[in-house]
Structure 1
Amino acid sequence: MQQFTNDPSAWVARQRWYAGKSHEPKFRVLDAQPAPAATRYLFMDDAGSPPMLYNVPLTRVATPAEGDEVIDRDADGFLVDATRHADFAIGMLAEMGLDVSRITGTRVLTGEQSNTSIVFDEDGEPTIILKLFRTLHHGENPDVTVQRALSEAGSPFVPRFLGSLDAEWPDVGRDSGTARGTLAFAQEFLPGVRDGWSIALDAARAGQDFTGAARDLGTAVAGVHAALGAALGTAEPRPEDVASTAIAWRRRLAIAAAEVPAVADRLDASEALYREALERPWPRLQRIHGDLHLGQVLAVPHGGWRIVDFEGEPLRPMEERAIPDLPPRDIAGMLRSFDYAAAVGDGPGAAEWAAACQAAFLDAYTGADGAIELDPVILKAFVLDKAVYESIYEARNRPDWLAVPLAGIDAALA
């Protein structure tokens, strides 16, 4: 890291988007690329397994502004995070081909875990949000692929896609010696939104009816699934696709049974449900959300639901995140999310509240135009798998919450 007077590794390792919290980082500069009013440094953390590449744009200023954290200092000035500086942020939009003549301000959102989001005002009103990906992978990011396809199809259930920015960098693991991936993308900013989790939680705490919202959400998810199938295609599941799902289900079940005695007590019944599901005719494979829950949907004031964050698991290789999957996986995630909202809210009639939301969501999904038919046994198997995964997490991190996934397992097996 000879380009720096002081090693910036400590700053990178403190950021919320740094994924290597479990090990001592070992950084090196893989590449340094010119960017608008900044330099885009690509830091490789060789201590991770696998090594991880980070997108770290830095800008040089004569005097740090309020909110700047000095990363390096030399005779020419101070190096700070470029995402907090308008020239760099607006420059990225211009690189995407967007008209930036009406941009009047920028601000970085707080609370992001794996990326950095920047909001842009046009004529004083927030209209654009840009997501800068902090971990880079070869291949187009699914957030871009999916949201662009849905936006071009005219889907009313996602924010309007505006543009994206790619880059190349050295990669000795590829025959070409070069990788290419997504740095950032921009989409419509939706003012005044609330995420579905916070809304559902308030309703669950108060014991308020949420079935209307759940129905609307079921219609939105069905619309997204139908549009994705039409825009990006579907495929008949091969025997190896079914086999790989079976392996994943049984691996998680074995881990849970070894760590959670209550899951071990339900092992035979769980394996029986998996066997039955694996013998059923499976639906066609297609692109899905992949991590759908109430926190991934936004309620627009007087505008219904928008589904966001199609990125998938940020640490998985891009080619794995692009593999077509089964729509019931998304449905199972949302059904479990209603159970968790009821449990966390702990309001009157919590179990009945969750059951009513789930029934309304499923009824709307199956009745929507172009809906994908849900085999009840396959859906139960995906719900079971989700609850089994949750039981491992809760046993390791929040033992007092173990009753929530165990109830989900029992419901799937009932």
Structure 2
Amino acid sequence: MSEAASTRVATSKRKTKSTTTSASTPAVASAGTSTTAGTNTTASTATNTPMSTAAGEDLLSSLAPLLHAWLPGRRWFAGKGQPVTHFSLVSATEILPARFAGTGPGLLHLLVRAHQPGLPTDAPGDCYQLLLGVRAMLPPRLAAARIGRVQDGPLAGRTVYEGLHDPRVAELLLERFRRPGTLGPLRFDGTTAIPAGLTPRLLDTEQSNSSLVYGDSHILKIFRRVFPGTNPDLELPLALSREGCRRVPAPVAWFEATTPQPVTLGVLQPFLRGARDGWQLALGALAAGRDFVPEARALGRATAEVHIALAAALPTPALSLSQTRQLADGMTGRLEAAAGAVPALVPYVPGLLTAFDAVAALGRGDSGCAVQRVHGDLHLGQTLCAEDGFWSLIDFEGEPARPLPERRRPQPPVRDVAGMLRSFDYAARSHRPWDDAWAARCRAAYCEGYAQAAGSDPRGEPELLRAYETDKAVYEVLYEARNRPDWLPVPMAAIQRLAAATD
């Protein structure tokens, strides 16, 4: 989730047929196909057989009219502004049999591609993970989760709804994590035993994913728009856990789809009960007229510790001349595109381009720019402070709108630093009157704290730091112009400062 979005409280390579519900060899299974010895008792006692490919396509065909109306309205749907022309099936799994459910719920797990105009005919649509509850009669308490009543097909006459809103369904999902193994195309894995009897509750801060808290001890993040490959929000916390880094909650369990290659679907981690996110703490300090310097310095130390652990756990290559040029070219391209969409940027383009030219010049030096795995979308809203003052970093998914290979690419550590520096500016300018001196003190303290832990001050790389701050501010300008015009002065103030910093 971007800093611009933080104030709101976050593809498979298979080619799909151009029909309403088809996909090439979709993986379709029922709970009866599980190879896990401890299959859910409700599922194992149902007299069902594995759902065939044809049955899965029939199922999607019957759900398509409801999905056309429901899916584009979800906060996590990425294709807003364009209609969905058709859906195609990647996989369908009955975690709890829906076709044979009586008064209790069924649970369908679907991976569905939403095809929209404007893409090449052979390009895959975005793939979404759906967890659909199925009931003959929907209780009043679940009315807000209702998607609609199915008119035909295998679920004719039944009501489907957003399954994560149903505590019974949420409990069942946790049971799958307590018994690792496979369920059709789904694989559940973990590192730590999970207690039984944890009461679930769905968080209402939905962004690019959905989250369930279990018993105030665990939190399950469900990724909604999914891509082939391991999600960094699983990969990096696992690597940090192996390094003994305590700054990031270690994954307890996770699940993925295996069709046609692994796709991370969800991660279960410890829930930091009583912790408050850095954004809210910063706003509280501003409202109280209190400085945030100690917290900013501690955040700098925490960031550096995470970077040090990531560098120890994963490769740390150096960018070649051509790669450094590509980095600068990418920033330049984003600036030019944003200036074409937001006229207010145009007068500042020449000054901003000097930041990217300076990065390109770095590639002509004797040694390449060092890069490593980083958080990728760091801001105050991605940090948590425990009651004892210990800071943690969360949400390593990166910017969800970017392709997964790009999010997994090693980057200069100052990218994370730049994101946090922009976050202090956003916090300061969300308060009236604007307190730029407050932000400047936080920025300095954060860099000082980082230097104390890392042994090097990020301000010692002025070209990279300015370039990444500029790139972030350009993104913010475009976002605010499109979504919150009243907030446009916030990033524009940074644009003016960065364009003038040409020395």
TM-score by structure 1 length? 0.89
Other-structure match for 2:263: 181
Identity percentage of aligned residues: 38
Q: Distance in 1 between the 2:160 and 2:251 partners?
A: 32
Other-structure match for 1:200: 282
Contact 1:192–1:301 under 8 Å retained in 2: yes
Q: Secondary structure at the match of 2:253?
A: strand
Other-structure match for 1:284: 370
Q: Distance in 2 between the 1:39 and 1:232 partners?
A: 37
Aligned partner (choices 328, 331, 335) of residue 417 of structure 2: 331
Other-structure match for 1:174: none
1:22 maps onto 2:77 in alignment: no
Other-structure match for 1:241: 323
User: How far 1:41 moved relative to its partner?
Assistant: 1.5
User: How far 1:396 moved relative to its partner?
Assistant: 4.0
Contact 1:92–1:165 under 8 Å retained in 2: no
Q: Distance in 2 between the 1:181 and 1:259 partners?
A: 34
> Residue type matched to 2:421 in 1?
L
User: How far 1:188 moved relative to its partner?
Assistant: 0.5
User: How far 1:314 moved relative to its partner?
Assistant: 2.3
Distance 1:33 1:354, change over 3 A: same
Q: Distance in 2 between the 1:389 and 1:86 partners?
A: 36
User: How far 1:54 moved relative to its partner?
Assistant: 1.1
1:31 maps onto 2:88 in alignment: no
Aligned partner (choices 381, 395, 398) of residue 312 of structure 1: 398
1:377 maps onto 2:451 in alignment: no
Q: Distance in 2 between the 1:278 and 1:77 partners?
A: 60
Other-structure match for 1:143: 233
Q: Secondary structure at the match of 1:325?
A: coil
Q: Distance in 2 between the 1:147 and 1:345 partners?
A: 34
Other-structure match for 2:388: 302
User: How far 1:298 moved relative to its partner?
Assistant: 1.3
Measured against aligned partners, the alpha-carbon deviations of 1:302-346 in whole angstroms (never above 9, x if no partner) come to: 142111111112233322221111111111111111111111112
Distance 1:303 1:155, change over 3 A: farther
Q: Secondary structure at the match of 2:399?
A: coil
Other-structure match for 1:351: 436
Q: Distance in 2 between the 1:70 and 1:261 partners?
A: 41
Structure with the larger strand share:
1
Contact 1:118–1:131 under 8 Å retained in 2: yes
Of residues 18-27 and 229-238 in structure 1, the stretch that sits farther from structure 2 once superposed is: 18-27
1:90 maps onto 2:174 in alignment: yes
Q: Secondary structure at the match of 2:264?
A: strand
User: How far 1:69 moved relative to its partner?
Assistant: 1.8
User: How far 1:136 moved relative to its partner?
Assistant: 1.8
User: How far 1:361 moved relative to its partner?
Assistant: 0.5
Q: Distance in 1 between the 2:489 and 2:108 partners?
A: 50
Measured against aligned partners, the alpha-carbon deviations of 1:159-202 in whole angstroms (never above 9, x if no partner) come to: 12212211122xxxxxxxx2321111110101122211111112
User: How far 1:16 moved relative to its partner?
Assistant: 2.1
Contact 1:293–1:333 under 8 Å retained in 2: yes
Q: Distance in 2 between the 1:140 and 1:370 partners?
A: 32
Measured against aligned partners, the alpha-carbon deviations of 1:339-358 in whole angstroms (never above 9, x if no partner) come to: 111111124x7011010000
1:44 maps onto 2:113 in alignment: yes
Other-structure match for 1:12: 71
1:360 maps onto 2:360 in alignment: no
User: How far 1:130 moved relative to its partner?
Assistant: 0.8
Q: Distance in 1 between the 2:343 and 2:177 partners?
A: 53
> After TM superposition, which residue ranges in structure 1, 4 or more long, deviate above 6 angstroms?
none
> Residue type matched to 2:269 in 1?
Q
1:161 maps onto 2:251 in alignment: yes
Contact 1:127–1:188 under 8 Å retained in 2: yes
Contact 1:128–1:187 under 8 Å retained in 2: yes
> Residue type matched to 1:69 in 2?
R
Q: Distance in 2 between the 1:33 and 1:405 partners?
A: 45
User: How far 1:220 moved relative to its partner?
Assistant: 0.7
Contact 2:377–2:398 under 8 Å retained in 1: yes
Aligned partner (choices 179, 196, 201) of residue 107 of structure 1: 201
Measured against aligned partners, the alpha-carbon deviations of 1:374-404 in whole angstroms (never above 9, x if no partner) come to: 4122212221222233233334444444332
Contact 1:297–1:306 under 8 Å retained in 2: yes
- Flag structure 2 segments of 5+ consecutive residues without an equivalent: 1-20, 22-57, 98-106, 181-188
Contact 1:36–1:92 under 8 Å retained in 2: no
User: How far 1:410 moved relative to its partner?
Assistant: 3.5
User: How far 1:87 moved relative to its partner?
Assistant: 4.1
> Residue type matched to 1:284 in 2?
A
**Count of residues paired in the alignment:** 401
1:405 maps onto 2:491 in alignment: yes
> Residue type matched to 2:282 in 1?
A
Of residues 186-195 and 47-56 in structure 1, the stretch that sits farther from structure 2 once superposed is: 47-56
Aligned partner (choices 192, 201, 224) of residue 134 of structure 1: 224
Q: Distance in 1 between the 2:344 and 2:158 partners?
A: 60
1:3 maps onto 2:59 in alignment: yes
**Which of 1 and 2 has greater Rg?**
2
Describe how 1:390-401 pairs up with structure 2 within 5 A.
Answer: 390-401=476-487
Contact 1:222–1:372 under 8 Å retained in 2: no
User: How far 1:231 moved relative to its partner?
Assistant: 0.5
Q: Secondary structure at the match of 2:261?
A: strand
The CA RMSD measured in Å over matched residues stands at 2.4
1:268 maps onto 2:334 in alignment: no
Measured against aligned partners, the alpha-carbon deviations of 1:86-142 in whole angstroms (never above 9, x if no partner) come to: 343213322334534533311211121111111112xxxx11111111112110111
Q: Secondary structure at the match of 1:345?
A: coil
Other-structure match for 2:104: none
User: How far 1:289 moved relative to its partner?
Assistant: 1.0
Q: Distance in 2 between the 1:386 and 1:380 partners?
A: 10
Distance 1:15 1:277, change over 3 A: closer
Distance 1:75 1:51, change over 3 A: closer
> Residue type matched to 1:45 in 2?
A
Q: Secondary structure at the match of 1:56?
A: strand
